[in-house]
Structure 1
C-alpha cells in the first residue's frame, strides 16, 4: 500500500468512527456506564454552565453536579429518577421535539449526539449512580493486572496496565524498537541531545542484558539531564529575563533558573523541590539555595508603568501566583473563580481568595521600578567573596574611625549666633579638579572610547595634576552623577569652568550641563543647534556666545540665575559635552559673595532650618529621614549629633576641606568595594511583609471592591490543612505533598509521562477538573502517583522506571491496524513519535556541527535573531528596546540560556511553539508548519551550523565523499543511510559542487554566514556543497522528530 493510500484509509476510518449513528454508540452502551468516564464529561460540557457549581449563574435552582440536587423532588418531577426514564425530567428535556423545552438550549450552541443521549439513557436505567470527581479523592494503590502476552515483554508494572488496556481494546502492541532508535530516543529524552555515532556503536556492540540500563544510568548522571528537565519546569514557572509588562526591562532572576537545573541534577526529592519553591524562606535557618528557590513566585510579570495603581497590581500579582500554583501542582483552573464561583468545578470564590491570601502579603512592591533587581533580593556571595568584602569593610571602617576622630576635634562658631556685624564673604568652591567628587557614578556617551584623564606630561593641564580630554566626530559627553554630598548653589553664585580647544581640531559647540533631579540646566558656546538637547533660549539650553578662543585655556563664567538655579539647589552631577573636535576640560566650581549669617553652607542653624520637613535628594537615608519625619524638638541627642557631623563633613565651607584628604583616601576603596559587590550576582527571592495584608473576596474580581474577609486556607472540597499554630505558606506547601492530597502526585507524574510519551495519561495536563479529559488509564495513573510518593518523590528513579518500561521501548511505526484503532496513540500501542521541541532542534544543530559551547549557568545570552523583533513592541525608555546580539561563545550556548524577553520571545523558538513565558505553560502545543522548514533551511544559525557540520564531514567523516555523507547522515539520524538515501545525497553533493565551482563568489558567501570562520585550508566550493548536504540532513523529518 502506498503512503497516499494509507492516508486515504486513515481518513475514511476517522470519518466512520466520528459519524453519528455509527456502531460506536451501541458498543459503548454494551458495557456498564461509569459516571466519571462517561457521564460527568457530558454534563460538565453541556449542562454545568447553567446547572453547575456557580450559584450566581445557576438556573431553575437546579444543580446537576450533585446527587442530592439532581435527584430531589421538584414541582413536576425530579431531574433524574433512577431506573425510571418517564419520571426523569432530564430525559424529557434532552429528547423532546419542542424547541422551547429542548436542552441544551439553542442559544448555548451545544447539542447532544445520539451517542451521548444513549449513554445518559443507559445511566438512568442502570440506577443513575453518582461518584465524586475522580481526581478529588486520594489515589490508592491498585492491583497490578496479570498479563500473558508473548508479544509484550513486560519490564515493569507499567506494562501490565498498558497491556491489559490494549487487550481490552484490541489493537495490540508494537515490538521493541531497534537499538539505534532506542538509544536515540532515550538520549534525546534524558539530555536533549542526540547520541554521537561512537555512543551508538558502543551500545550496538554491548550484548549484555543490562546494556540499555547502563545507557540510561549514564544519561541520568549527565549534567545535561538537569538542563533538559529544567526546561519543562521553567515553562511552568513562567521564567523570563524581563519584567514582562510596559518597558519590559531586564530583570536578574537567572540564578533561579540555574537552581532548577542543579535541583534536577542533584535529584532533589520532589516534595522538597515543592516546599523550597513555595516556602523556602519560612524553613528554619534557610540556606542560600532554599531562598533562591523561592524565585518561583517572583517569576510573574510585573510593571512600573506611569499611572498604574499600586493596589490593582498587588492584587493582580497575588492572583497570578495563586492561579499558577493551583495549576502547576494541582492541575486546577482556579483562575476561573476570581470573578465568580467556578462554573464546572467545586472551587468557590471563597476557596480561590483563601488560596490567594497565602500570596497576598509578598514584600515585593507593586511597581518593579524598571530596574534589574526589585527587592526583596539575595546577593549570592561565596565565602571567598565575603572575605574580600570584609577586607574592604575593615579598610573603610578604619578610615571612618579617623573621620570620627576628626569630627570630634572640629571647632565651630555659627555665624548666625554672632551678634556683631559679619562682613560679606567671598567664597569659591572647587567642584571638579583632578577627579570627580566622592560617590560619583561616571558615564560617557557614546560608551567608547573610555573616559580619558590627561596629565601635564602628555597634554596641557590648567590646575592640579590632570584634566579631562576627548576627541569626537559628533556628539560626545563625559559626565557623572549621584555624588555623596551634592553641591549647593550659593546665593548670587557664578559658575566657572576652564576649557582648552585644539586649534587643529576645534569643535562646533561645547556645553556644560548640571543634574538636579534631571539633566535640564545647560549652557552652550558655539553653534547651539549642533547639540540637540533642550529648548534653545531657556534654562534647558542657554547660548552664551561664540566658542572660546582656541589654543589657550579660557575661563568661562556664567551666573546660576541664567540657568534658573536658585540658592540652595542641590546639584549631584555635571556633564562636559561637545560636538566634534578635541576639547580639554579642567577645574569647575562656583564663586559667590555671601552673608555667612544667612548662608546654609556657612551656618548650621540656617542649614537645619532650611531643610526641615523637606524630602532631600542625594543625602544618606538617615539624614533624609531626620529632616523629613522628625521634628527638631523630638530628635534625640544622637540624631542631632548625626546632622551636625554630616554638616561639618560634607556641607560647611569652613570645615569640609579638613575632610577632603580622608575622602580621597576613602573614595577609591568605597568605589572598589562597590564595583566588586556589583559583580556578585543577585536574584529575586520571596519575603512576606512583617504585617500581613488583609485579604477579601474581591467582588467580580475587581481589585477595589472587597467583599467578605478571608484568611489563608485550602479549597473546601480538598482535605483540610493539618491543625497547627500557624497557617502559612510552609503549611500549605507541606499540605500539597502530604499523603492525603489527591492531586499533586497525580498531576506531577502525568506531566512527566507527557514529557516522555508526548501525551499525558490525562491529556489535559492543565485541567484535572470536570472540563478536563478523564485519564486513559486511571489505574495506571494512580499506581504511578502512589509509587512516586512512596518512593520518596525520587524523580530520577521515576524517570528511569518510565524509560525502562517495554511501553516506552516500543517501535513507533504506526501500522494501519494501530492507526485505525488508536490514531492518537492514547492506548500506547506504539512508541512515542513527535516533533522535537524548539530548543532541542536548535541545540541538536549546534551539537552535531561542533559549534555548541557547553558552559552551564549564568546570565542569559543573545544569539542570532532577525532584525526588528524587539523594537516594534518596545518603549523608547526600555533597556530591551534594541536587540544587540552577542558575539563569540555566547552565540553557541544551549538554548536554555537564551535571553527571554516576554513581550518578544526568541522567534526561532516561538516558530516551533515555545511559549512566551508571560504565564505558566504545562503543555506546549505542537504544530508542523512550512515556516518551520523555512526556518531550518534559511535561518543564519542553521546555515552556519550546516557549514560547520559540513566542515566536520570533510575533516572527521572519512576520505571519500560517500564515507563523509554516510558519517553525517548517521550523526544526524543515529542510523546508517539506505542505498537510495545515499544516492540522493551523493547526487545532491556533486550537483552543488559543480554549481559552486562555476560560481566561487556564491560559495564564499554561503560558507561565511555567521561569526564562526570556515577553515581556510578547505576548498570553498567543496565546503559549500557539503554545507548544503548538511542543511538537507538537519531539515530531515527524521532529524527533528523523536522516533
Structure 2
C-alpha cells in the first residue's frame, strides 16, 4: 500500500472515529424533515440540478445511492458524504471554505444516523426541476381575461366570497393618495359622491385627471427613487465620496418622464445609456444619474459591484452578489458571467457637464456617465477577491445565458464633438462671456471711482477684465477647429496676454501688501515671499507673451469625477474619448426587450404592491429559483403582456389596476364569513383590499395640503433638511443620503437609500408623538383651524373629519368629539385627529 492511499484511509478513519460520540438513533431521523432541507440548503448548489461536481447529484436518495465518480455517496460502510463534511482537510471539506461554514455536530449526527438506518427515502421522490424550466425564465403569456375575471375565478374555485365595494369617499381617498400622494378636498369628495354611478364613468374621469396631474410624477417618482436607490451626494465635509453633486437633475428627469408617460422600456435604456443612445439630448442625459448614483471614491470595484447588483435587482429581479465569489447557489448563473456583466460597465466613469446659465460647477452641473477607459480589461476575481485576479482570460462583456445572452450585441458608438469637448456646447461661451461682461462693468465702475492710492490696482483689474472676453473668444474658436494652427496661435497669444494681465495685477497687490512693513517678522517674511513669487510669475508671463506658441488653457466647463482620492488631475480634463463602447446601450436594449421574460413582470409586481398592499411575487427583487411560482401568475403575466403591448405605458397599467373591482373592495373584515378567514387568513386571494400605512412623504405632504400650506412648485436643487426643515415643498425635494434625512420623515419608515425595494411598515410611539407634538403638526393644525373658523362645534367636527379622514364621523364619534371639545382647544383636537389611524392608513 502506498503512502497516499494510507493517508486517505487515515483521514477516513479519523472522520468516522469523530462520529462515534453521536447519540441520535436511526428511528429519530426523518429524511424529509431533517435531511433533505439540510442538503438542499448546503449541498444542492454544487450537487443538484445546477451542477454536479464529481458527477454526484444528491437531490434525491436514489441519485445519492447511484453516486458519482466515487460511487454510492451514502453507503453504510463508505459514506462519502460523511467523509466530506467531517474532514479536517479544508481543501476537501464540504461545503468548500469560502462558501459556507462547516456543518454543525448536530447536523452531522442527523446525517450519520440516517445513513446508518440505510438512507431511507420516499419511493416517488422527484429531483430538482431543470433550472431552465423555472417559471420566471419563460416569456409571460396573457390569459386573455381581465384581472377581475382571473381573481374572481380563483375565489369561486375556493368558495370564497369577496367583500363588497368600499364607500365612494373611501375609494376616492384611496385613489388620490395612491396616484398623487395627496388627499381629496371636501368639495372634490362631495362632487364625486354626486356623480358616482354604476358604469364607472365618474371614476374613469377622476383617474384620468389624477394621472394628468403634475403631482402624479412626484408621487410615483418617489416610488421609483426608492427602487433605484436615489441618494444625493455625501462624504466627509466637502469631499464627495458617494453619488454625485446635483443628482437632483436625475430626480427631475424621473418626475418629468412619468408625467409624460414615457415608455418604461425607453426609461431603462436612457438610464443605462442615454449618452450612447443620443449624446446630444441633454434632457435625457440626466437619466444616467441612475449609474452615477453608485459612484464610490475609494474603490471602483465597490462601485461596479453595486452597479451590477442593483441594475439586476431593480430591472430584472435577479440577485447577483453571491455570483461575485462563486457560481450562483440557486440560479443558473455562473461565476464568470458575473464578470462578463461587470465588463459591460468597465469603461464607465462619471463627470459633471455644464448647465445653462451657470459656470460654477459647484453651484450647478449635469451629472452623467460616459465611457472613459475603452480598453480596460475585466478579469475574474478568484472567490471575489479583487486582489487575486485571474489574468489568464479577459472577460468579454455579456449577460447570463439563461436569459438569452446571445441577444446581447454591443456596437461601438461615435460621439459628437459637444460630447467630446463639453466647452463647445452652444451656451458655454455665452455664459462665460456674460460673466466676463459683469466683471468688466464692475471693473470699469471701480476704475472711475478709485482713489489715487488705488488707481494703479484698479487699472490692472480693468486690464484683466478686458483681456478675459478676448481670450474666451479666441480659445473657443481654436477649440472649435482643433486642426487650425492659426487659430491655435491666436488663442495661445490671447491666453498669454490674459495671464500677463493677471500677473501684473498680482504684482501690484504684492507690492502694496501692508505686511511688507509689519513689525511681525513672520508676517513680513511671508509677504516678501509672495512678492518674489509675483515677480517670478510676471517674468514667466512676459516670456510667454514674447513666444506664445500654440498651447493655451481650455475653457473650464466640465469636471471628471476623481478616479480615486489621489487623483489630482481630474479638474484638468476637458476633452473626453471620441467614441463609446456601446456596451451599456446593448444592455439596456436587452433588458427592455419584449423577449426578456423578467423586466415587465418585475415592474408589474412593483406597481401591484403599491396599489394593493401585497406583491404577487413576495420578494420584489428576487424572481430567481428561490421564488416559487406565484398563486396569481396568470394575473402577473397578463398584465405584463398588456404593459408591453401598450408601449410600456405606466399610466395604462395604473388605469387597469385602480379601475378594477378588486381595487374598489372594502378593506374591512366586518361581516366576512368564518370559512373565508379560515381558508385565506392572509388574504392571498384578495377577497378584500389590504389596508396600508402611508409612507413618510405622504403623511407630511398630506398635513401641508390639509393646512393649505403645500408649495406645489416642482423640480430644482434639493433642500437642506436642517436649515430648510420648515419648507412647504413636497417631501421628495429634501436632501436625503445615508447620513442626512428630514427628522419628521425619519419617524415614519423613510426610504433606506442603500436598499429600498419595498418600504418597511412599523408602528412605534415616536410616530404618535411626532403627529401630536411636532412643530409641523402644530402649524398645520393651527392653519386648518383657521380655515374652519366660524363653524359651530358640530359642523367643525364634521368638516374636520371630512378633510382629515375623508369621511363623515359616525354617531359615536360625533358624540365623543363634542364632549372632548368642551375641554379641548380646537387645534389640539385637530392634532389628535392627525393621530387617528384612519389618517395614516389607506383604507
Same fold (TM over 0.5): yes
Tell me which interval the TM-score lies in, with the shorter structure as reference length.
Answer: 0.5 to 0.7
Q: CA–CA distance in 1 between the matches of 2:94 and 2:320?
A: 33
Q: CA–CA distance in 1 between the matches of 2:70 and 2:718?
A: 67
Partner residue in 2 for 1:139 = 139
Q: Are residues 1:763 and 2:608 paired?
A: no
Within-5 A mapping of 1:572-583: none
Indicate how the Cα distance of structure 1 residues 602 and 1029 shifts in structure 2: closer, same or farther if over 3 A, else same.
closer
Q: CA–CA distance in 2 between the matches of 1:157 and 1:292?
A: 37
Partner residue in 2 for 1:940 = 775
Q: CA–CA distance in 2 between the matches of 1:810 and 1:690?
A: 57
Partner residue in 2 for 1:165 = 154
**Would you say the 8 A contact 2:706–2:804 is kept in 1?**
yes
**Would you say the 8 A contact 1:913–1:926 is kept in 2?**
yes
Q: Are residues 1:898 and 2:734 paired?
A: yes
Partner residue in 2 for 1:733 = 588
Deviations for 1:260-297, whole angstroms, at most 9, x for unmatched residues? Answer: 11111110011111111111111246422221222211
Partner residue in 1 for 2:693 = 835
Within-5 A mapping of 1:920-959: 920-954=755-789, 959=791
Partner residue in 2 for 1:344 = 330
Partner residue in 2 for 1:180 = 169
Report deviation, 1:344. 2.4
Deviations for 1:568-587, whole angstroms, at most 9, x for unmatched residues? Answer: 425xxxxxxxxxxxxxxxxx
**Would you say the 8 A contact 2:511–2:531 is kept in 1?**
no
Q: Are residues 1:640 and 2:640 paired?
A: no
Within-5 A mapping of 1:376-395: 390=430, 393=433
Partner residue in 1 for 2:711 = 853
Q: CA–CA distance in 1 between the matches of 2:73 and 2:746?
A: 49
- Richer in strand (by share): 1
Indicate how the Cα distance of structure 1 residues 196 and 494 shifts in structure 2: closer, same or farther if over 3 A, else same.
closer
Q: CA–CA distance in 1 between the matches of 2:295 and 2:575?
A: 18
Partner residue in 2 for 1:272 = 266
Partner residue in 2 for 1:978 = 810
Indicate how the Cα distance of structure 1 residues 72 and 185 shifts in structure 2: closer, same or farther if over 3 A, else same.
farther
**Would you say the 8 A contact 2:221–2:258 is kept in 1?**
yes
5+ unaligned residues in a row in structure 1: which ranges? 1-28, 30-38, 82-87, 95-99, 113-119, 145-155, 401-427, 441-481, 499-511, 513-521, 526-536, 543-558, 571-591, 593-598, 609-622, 624-636, 647-669, 675-686, 694-725, 864-882, 993-1024
Deviations for 1:16-62, whole angstroms, at most 9, x for unmatched residues? Answer: xxxxxxxxxxxxx9xxxxxxxxx99997546446646998xx98774
Within-5 A mapping of 1:426-437: 432-433=457-458
**Would you say the 8 A contact 1:314–1:360 is kept in 2?**
no
**Would you say the 8 A contact 1:191–1:225 is kept in 2?**
yes
Report deviation, 1:752. 0.8
Q: Are residues 1:742 and 2:597 paired?
A: yes
In structure 2, the residue corresponding to 1:1039 is in which secondary structure? helix
Q: How many residues align?
A: 657
Q: CA–CA distance in 2 between the matches of 1:807 and 1:387?
A: 52
Q: Are residues 1:1034 and 2:834 paired?
A: yes
Partner residue in 1 for 2:577 = 690
**Would you say the 8 A contact 2:276–2:582 is kept in 1?**
no
Partner residue in 2 for 1:496 = 512
**Would you say the 8 A contact 1:135–1:743 is kept in 2?**
no
Within-5 A mapping of 1:197-236: 197-206=186-195, 207=197, 209-210=199-200, 211-236=202-227
Indicate how the Cα distance of structure 1 residues 904 and 741 shifts in structure 2: closer, same or farther if over 3 A, else same.
same
**Would you say the 8 A contact 2:56–2:68 is kept in 1?**
no
Deviations for 1:49-85, whole angstroms, at most 9, x for unmatched residues? Answer: 6646998xx987745689998796437877899xxxx
Indicate how the Cα distance of structure 1 residues 638 and 358 shifts in structure 2: closer, same or farther if over 3 A, else same.
farther
Q: CA–CA distance in 1 between the matches of 2:121 and 2:635?
A: 27
In structure 2, the residue corresponding to 1:811 is in which secondary structure? coil
Within-5 A mapping of 1:593-612: 601=538, 607=543
2:820 to 969, 979, 988: 988
**Would you say the 8 A contact 1:46–1:110 is kept in 2?**
no
**Would you say the 8 A contact 2:510–2:527 is kept in 1?**
no
In structure 2, the residue corresponding to 1:640 is in which secondary structure? coil
Q: CA–CA distance in 1 between the matches of 2:734 and 2:94?
A: 58
Report deviation, 1:220. 1.3
Q: CA–CA distance in 1 between the matches of 2:166 and 2:626?
A: 36
**Would you say the 8 A contact 1:44–1:771 is kept in 2?**
no
Q: CA–CA distance in 2 between the matches of 1:281 and 1:214?
A: 39
Indicate how the Cα distance of structure 1 residues 495 and 194 shifts in structure 2: closer, same or farther if over 3 A, else same.
same
Partner residue in 2 for 1:962 = 794
**Would you say the 8 A contact 2:47–2:58 is kept in 1?**
yes
Deviations for 1:754-800, whole angstroms, at most 9, x for unmatched residues? Answer: 11111210110011123345423222222222221122211111111
Report deviation, 1:317. 1.8
5+ unaligned residues in a row in structure 2: which ranges? 1-31, 86-92, 96-100, 111-118, 353-359, 370-417, 420-424, 441-452, 466-498, 559-573
Deviations for 1:433-476, whole angstroms, at most 9, x for unmatched residues? Answer: 48967779xxxxxxxxxxxxxxxxxxxxxxxxxxxxxxxxxxxx
Q: CA–CA distance in 2 between the matches of 1:110 and 1:915?
A: 42
In structure 2, the residue corresponding to 1:808 is in which secondary structure? helix
**Would you say the 8 A contact 1:489–1:565 is kept in 2?**
no
Deviations for 1:607-665, whole angstroms, at most 9, x for unmatched residues? Answer: 56xxxxxxxxxxxxxx9xxxxxxxxxxxxx9952668x99xxxxxxxxxxxxxxxxxxx
In structure 2, the residue corresponding to 1:735 is in which secondary structure? helix
Within-5 A mapping of 1:683-722: 690=577
Q: CA–CA distance in 1 between the matches of 2:278 and 2:766?
A: 52
Q: CA–CA distance in 2 between the matches of 1:342 and 1:129?
A: 16
Deviations for 1:550-577, whole angstroms, at most 9, x for unmatched residues? Answer: xxxxxxxxx5x3546166425xxxxxxx
Report deviation, 1:201. 1.1
**Would you say the 8 A contact 1:166–1:827 is kept in 2?**
yes
Indicate how the Cα distance of structure 1 residues 389 and 964 shifts in structure 2: closer, same or farther if over 3 A, else same.
farther
Question: Which structure: larger Rg?
Answer: 1
Within-5 A mapping of 1:745-894: 745-772=600-627, 774-814=629-669, 815=672, 817-862=675-720, 883-885=722-724, 891-894=727-730
**Would you say the 8 A contact 1:361–1:689 is kept in 2?**
no
Indicate how the Cα distance of structure 1 residues 77 and 813 shifts in structure 2: closer, same or farther if over 3 A, else same.
farther
Report deviation, 1:915. 2.2
Partner residue in 2 for 1:485 = 502
1:195 to 184, 203, 210: 184
Indicate how the Cα distance of structure 1 residues 489 and 949 shifts in structure 2: closer, same or farther if over 3 A, else same.
closer
Report deviation, 1:858. 1.3
Partner residue in 1 for 2:245 = 251
In structure 1, the residue corresponding to 2:714 is in which secondary structure? coil
Indicate how the Cα distance of structure 1 residues 738 and 70 shifts in structure 2: closer, same or farther if over 3 A, else same.
farther
In structure 2, the residue corresponding to 1:294 is in which secondary structure? helix
Q: Are residues 1:569 and 2:533 paired?
A: yes
Q: CA–CA distance in 2 between the matches of 1:688 and 1:786?
A: 44
Indicate how the Cα distance of structure 1 residues 177 and 248 shifts in structure 2: closer, same or farther if over 3 A, else same.
farther
Deviations for 1:659-707, whole angstroms, at most 9, x for unmatched residues? Answer: xxxxxxxxxxx99x99xxxxxxxxxxxx9963899xxxxxxxxxxxxxx
Report deviation, 1:751. 0.7
**Would you say the 8 A contact 2:65–2:73 is kept in 1?**
yes
Q: CA–CA distance in 2 between the matches of 1:895 and 1:523?
A: 57
In structure 2, the residue corresponding to 1:235 is in which secondary structure? helix
1:239 to 221, 230, 239: 230
